[in-house]
A and B are shown apart, each in its own frame.
Chain A
């Protein structure tokens, strides 16, 4: 039972345009959401996060939107750059003891020059 889903395994975008990566979750107990970026043979690096008390968080070219009623979040990258090409993982956690992260399956973003 996948609690965090990224239904698009891949996405290609032209340089300079907007990249929109989507993520859905099923567990209403999740209250904190994160996006990680991963290059091949490297560990994921934290990109941006959002708490369930907000619906938007922005950091430079990256914006995460949260729609709690739809249990949906998205990551917008504007403008997209070739260096953004990587696998993006959506992750969620809930208040409680371990705060372990539940990850989606990832979306491979390719930004074309």
Chain B
């Protein structure tokens, strides 16, 4: 059963703490992405990776970090430097021009 799995679905974090969001895919896609969704806004690109051990900043990378040690995995760390981390985070992978999304992680800073 191929797809993209994000975990956890809901995550609570205390202010000042780093937190890592998991994204795993078994679609054998080279490219993976992290987006953030805020109310009234589109999906904004945080980071993307075209290949293992390589990743690039998107439009809103400040306060985030990623790694791509394996083709299947693209974890996103929300650091304490991110000023407004409460949001819905979406991971995607793509082949050619079509992206496939995970179910998302709702991060709430308390």
Contact = CB atoms under 8 A, between A and B. Distances in A.
B101 A105 contact: no
A99 B94 contact: yes
B40 interface: yes
A43 B101 contact: yes
Contact of B96 (A41, A99, A102, A106): A99
B48 interface: yes
Contact of B42 (A32, A41, A106): A106
A82 interface: no
A93 B94 CA distance: 12
A89 to B, nearest CB: 6
A26 B58 CA distance: 19
Interface stretch (B67-75, B79-87, B102-110): B102-110
B87 to A, nearest CB: 13
Interface stretch (A44-52, A54-62, A68-76): A44-52
Contacts of A105: 40-42
Interface of A: 2, 4, 6, 9, 32, 34, 36, 41-46, 49, 89, 91, 93, 97-106
Interface of B: 4, 6, 9, 31, 33, 35, 40-45, 48, 50, 56, 58, 88, 90, 92, 94, 96-104, 106
Contacts of B9: 41
B38 to A, nearest CB: 10
Contact of B50 (A4, A36, A98): A98
18 contacts: A4-B42, A34-B97, A41-B9, A41-B88, A43-B6, A43-B90, A43-B101, A49-B97, A91-B99, A93-B97, A98-B50, A100-B45, A101-B33, A101-B99, A103-B42, A104-B42, A105-B40, A105-B41
Contacts of A49: 97-98
A106 B6 CA distance: 22
